[in-house]
Amino acid sequence: MTELLQQVRVIDPVSEIDELFDVLIADGYIQAVASRISDISSDTQIRDCQGLVLGPGLVDLYSHSGEPGFEERETLSSFLQAAAAGGFTRVNILPDTSPVIDNPALVAQLQQRREGQGGNFSPLSPPSPLSPPSPLSSPLPLLHLWGAITLDVAGKQMTELADLASAGVVGFTDGKPLENLALVQGVLEYLQPLGKPVAFWPSDRQLAANGVMREGPDALRFGLPPIPASAETTAIAALLELVATIGTPVHIMRVSTSRSVELIASAKAAGLPITASTTWMHLLLDTKAVKSYNTSLHLDPPLGNPSDVVALRAGVRAGVIDAIAIDHTPYSYEEKVQAFAEAPAGAIGFELALPLLWQHLVETEEFTALELWRALSSRAAECLGQKISAIVPDQPGELTLFDPQKIWKVERKSLYTLSQNTPWLGQQLKGHVVQTWC
């Protein structure tokens, strides 16, 4: 199949391009990119793309799948469909499934389910009781798995890291705080020769205690147990000391405070081999939003104070924070219908992130389109030691086509994910992904 995208706005952070072009795509490969393309075959499908945006496929560093173990929240099928509908061409599942992704057999099993012909899934992925909004025309994204660092809930025993690396995991993380610094040191030493990324979520759980909201005036006003910023910053400082001593590259997940941005900036200036990410909701909302007590605003780490949001946005623009992660965390309706402090932390995000980030950061001119796309695509891939191809001829078409003006409503019938835990449920959004190529 050959398609001509006429006068589409090409946003390519790899080539630093933001211009109008015609783009010819044939059988999944980019054939030509030019100001005007007229020499086409008679069977070429011509699409008027004025007002649309074409960029490299989006890459999500880490998100949660329900399957295996919690299929009522999300199956692999619904997870991948939601990611594709949100413009993602590569996704990476955290290992906190049930069972945990801590052995090569489970890695192989999950990979086989994904690689079923025609995107089919085994009977272990039950169909959704609610039909998705419409048949998904975009291909499913590439799926990678994070391997668990530890075997036990207490986080005291390492998995067989070399065996997991050989099984093809994208890298290693637990997706939860590791407070045993001796274990962290051992992991960094052991992983050096394996050449796989390792990601840590720095958080001191003793300092966080039973808190559910960032410490500050709003936490006092709303009467919710606070989490001090130091719960994150002290853990980051300790991790940076280990990296400085051992030298193993590390990715720092879920950065959420202004002081954390300062620590990471200083470490990068000193030459430490680190990358960092924040999540999309921490760039959009602050503690004032918690006034609604909507349990989809209960996140971990919690939403920051207004000064934290300012620092995180500046950090992304400056490249101190390399990437924006989605951290898609589905929960069932029953799990989230509790008091704010009792509900599990997390919110969905695949189908919402790009429209909301574009609306609140690009349309307001706080970010350029290139800055946003870079953090969601090419730099996210680089954090995993991967690359995204530029939008140039003779390259595979790993692409996302986005309509920044399309209005749609966030509701069950418009979402591919099985869960609905988002504070934007029932609201109208502007911006929707049209198609992906993968």
- For residues 107-146, one letter each, b for 16 or more C-beta atoms within 10 angstroms of the residue's C-beta and e for the rest, the string is beebeebbeeeeeebeeebeebeeebeeebebebbbbbbb
Catalytic (active site) residue 152: no
Are the beta carbons of 76 and 70 closer than 8 angstroms?
Answer: no
pTM across the whole model = 0.95
Alpha helices in 9-134 (DSSP H): 76-85, 104-114
| pLDDT, mean over the chain | 94
Task: Please report which confidence band the pLDDT of residue 120 belongs to, taking 50, 70 and 90 as the band edges.
Answer: very low
Nearest Cα to Cα of residue 324 among 363, 365, 286, 356: 356
CA distance 5 to 2: 10
Measure the N-to-C terminal CA separation of the chain; round to a whole number of Å: 14
Residue-range domains of the chain with CATH: 58-388+411-426 (3.20.20.140)
> Which tens digits make up the pLDDT trace of 322-378?
999 999 999 999 999 999 999 999 999 999 999 999 999 999 999 999 999 999 999
Task: Give just the sign of the alpha carbon dihedral 212, 217, 218, 222.
Answer: positive
* Maximum Cα–Cα distance across the chain: 67
> Which tens digits make up the pLDDT trace of 204-226?
999 999 999 999 999 999 999 99
Q: Is the pLDDT of residue 125 over 80?
A: no
Task: Give just the sign of the alpha carbon dihedral 10, 11, 13, 18.
Answer: positive
> Which tens digits make up the pLDDT trace of 157-203?
899 999 999 999 999 999 999 989 999 999 999 999 999 999 999 99
Q: Is 408 helix (H, G, I), strand (E, B) or coil?
A: strand
The catalytic position among 102, 218, 286, 327 is 327
What is the mean predicted confidence (pLDDT) over 383-411? 96
